Structure 1
Amino acid sequence: MDIAGLSIAMNQSKVQQDASLALMKMAMNTGKETAAQMTEMIEECCVNPNVGQHLDVRA
């Protein structure tokens, strides 16, 4: 294989690695955003801490 062909092959490999890394970063950021949104949604949920504290039973 000549040097030009080897150079092209190495550059293509680097481009593939860079694209794969960029895609993985996007997936990680999406996961972080989803987790943050879920945490925010749970925190905003209206929960009354007094509900269920007392049970009135009559026979």
Structure 2
Amino acid sequence: MRQAHRFGSATIWQRNYYDHIIRNERSLQPMRHYITHNSLTWADGQLHPCNPSKW
């Protein structure tokens, strides 16, 4: 948020972001998968601080 404020960007949240209510185990499993795998691929992500060439 500091960077967004510093550079004058008004958009903080991801576009098309929405909340999802987890109501049961069937709904929980995809969320668990996303959280686990998202953290494993973070180092290769475009916004990772160690990958400025991808910015």
Same fold (TM over 0.5): no
Shorter-normalised TM range: 0.3 to 0.5
Q: Which has the higher contact order (CA 8 A, sep 6+)?
A: 2
In the superposition, the TM-score normalised over structure 1's length comes to 0.36
In terms of fraction of residues, the more helix-rich structure is 1
Larger Cα-atom Rg: 1
In the superposition, the TM-score normalised over structure 2's length comes to 0.38
